[in-house]
Amino acid sequence: MRRPIQDLPDELISQIAAGEVVERPASVVRELVDNALDAGAHQITVRLLAGGVRLISVEDDGCGIPPEELPVALRRHATSKVRDLHELESVTTMGFRGEALAAVASVSQTSILSRTADADSAWLLDAHSGELRRAARAQGTTLEVKELFFSTPARRKFLKTDATELAHCIESVRRHALARPDVGFAIWHEGKLVEQWRALPPDTERSQALARRLADVLGQDFVDQSLPVERVFHNGAITVYGRAGLPDAARNRGDQQYSYVNGRFVRDKVISHAAKAAYEDVLHGHKQPVYALYIEIDPLRVDVNVHPTKIEVRFRDSREVHQAVKHAVEDALAVPRAQLLTQTEP
């Protein structure tokens, strides 16, 4: 029997949308750290309970949100980052869809505590009750997400053990940390500090800062067993830099392959294929190269608005990106070993 067509209730719309963005605690961590970075944070602290299922708190020292805008931040499609199509096409922030907080709040108990530079106090908004009250905090924002999927038990059942969820949360922060050596990160789980990566001074030369952050996050071995990548193409329209592992450092799993487009961690077939192709002559069998590759590209040459989580991008000309990545990595691998010893940063 046919039922009449009706608008879905607002909350259900958010919960459906949340399904695309929030798969597990690590997705919440990713969105909240994205927001902290967009707010210009220098230090970001992530606190978790039960692998993030019971609590995810992300604390930053960014610009903060004024009290009158706190309820707006939680609304769907509300953002301070883009205003029109032109801005969308040249977007440089991590966020722009105005979806994350609405989605997260619809599947958890969320609160925002925030203070702007010129405010005389901080304000706390409870997303569920809508209650807004004065609170104490230095400049910045703390997002608290409790009991993820408490209202959608079917989703909650898909979660793995706390240890597995924690590992995904840490990986999510690691991806951000590898893109931003100038920002300090700390991760706490059940009251214990599990990871801490200190901010490098902003005047540190880029390849040095990166080498040090890579050593902190992935281990000194990664740096010792990799070569610096650095090449500019098309008069600066595309730059590829980072580090490419020596063939000997290749692994059975592709778990140390980090690629970024304009500071955003992406999984992209064009980039991974190009990187693999650069190793063609030096890597045999099923070994996977390790690398951290950063592609800086004119925002007009890439569309970041193809996937709700923005993990995929679409290049206007994927051939030109493929060539750039392949040539940049090939160049790095071609440097004679003797020369390398003086180039590898401590």
Beta-strand runs (E) in 263-318: 264-265, 291-297, 302-303, 314-315
**Closer to ligand ADP by Cβ: residue 36 or 209:** 36
27, 21 contact by CB (below 8 A): yes
Mask of contacts with ligand ADP, 123-162, x by CB under 6 A?
------------------x---------------------
Stretch that binds Mg ion, among 11-19, 34-42, 245-253, 319-327 (CB under 5 A): 34-42
The distance of closest approach from Cβ of residue 217 to ligand ADP in the complex, given in angstroms and rounded to an integer, is: 22
Left if phi > 0, otherwise alpha if psi is -120 to 50, otherwise beta: which for 168? alpha
Distance of alpha carbon 51 from alpha carbon 168, whole angstroms: 9
Distance of alpha carbon 96 from alpha carbon 90, whole angstroms: 11
Distance of alpha carbon 269 from alpha carbon 288, whole angstroms: 14
Answer with the entry of Mg ion, ligand ADP, none that 325 interacts with (C-beta below 5 to 8 A by kind).
none
The distance of closest approach from Cβ of residue 97 to Mg ion in the complex, given in angstroms and rounded to an integer, is: 7
Among 22, 26, 100, 238, indicate the residue that binds ligand ADP (CB under 6 A).
100
80 interacts with ligand ADP by CB under 6 A:
yes
Answer with the entry of Mg ion, ligand ADP, none that 76 interacts with (C-beta below 5 to 8 A by kind).
none
Q: Which of residues 66-105 bind Mg ion (CB under 5 A)?
A: 95, 100
Answer with the entry of Mg ion, ligand ADP, none that 81 interacts with (C-beta below 5 to 8 A by kind).
ligand ADP
62 interacts with Mg ion by CB under 5 A:
no
Q: Are strands 314-315 and 302-303 parallel, antiparallel or unpaired?
A: antiparallel
Torsion of the alpha carbons at 242, 243, 244 and 245, rounded to the nearest 10: -160
Q: How many CA atoms within 13 Å lie on the side-chain side of 252?
A: 0
Shortest-Cβ-distance residue relative to ligand ADP: 95
The distance of closest approach from Cβ of residue 270 to Mg ion in the complex, given in angstroms and rounded to an integer, is: 25
Beta-strand runs (E) in the chain: 43-49, 55-60, 109-115, 122-126, 132-135, 140-146, 184-189, 192-197, 226-233, 238-245, 257-261, 264-265, 291-297, 302-303, 314-315
User: In angstroms, how far is CA 131 from the centroid of its own chain?
Assistant: 30
Q: Are strands 226-233 and 184-189 parallel, antiparallel or unpaired?
A: unpaired
Stretch that binds ligand ADP, among 16-24, 91-99, 195-203, 304-312 (CB under 6 A): 91-99
The token duo for 154 is 């079917």
- Counting residues that bind ligand ADP (by CB under 6 A) gives 22
79 interacts with ligand ADP by CB under 6 A:
yes
The distance of closest approach from Cβ of residue 48 to ligand ADP in the complex, given in angstroms and rounded to an integer, is: 17
Among 28, 36, 170, 295, indicate the residue that binds ligand ADP (CB under 6 A).
36
**Closer to Mg ion by Cβ: residue 100 or 166:** 100
73 interacts with ligand ADP by CB under 6 A:
yes
Q: How many CA atoms within 13 Å lie on the side-chain side of 72?
A: 8
What single-letter amino acid sits at 126? D
**Closer to ligand ADP by Cβ: residue 31 or 144:** 31
**Which residues bind to ligand ADP, rule: CB under 6 A?**
31, 35-36, 39, 60, 62-65, 73, 79-81, 95-102, 141
**Which residues bind to Mg ion, rule: CB under 5 A?**
35, 95, 100
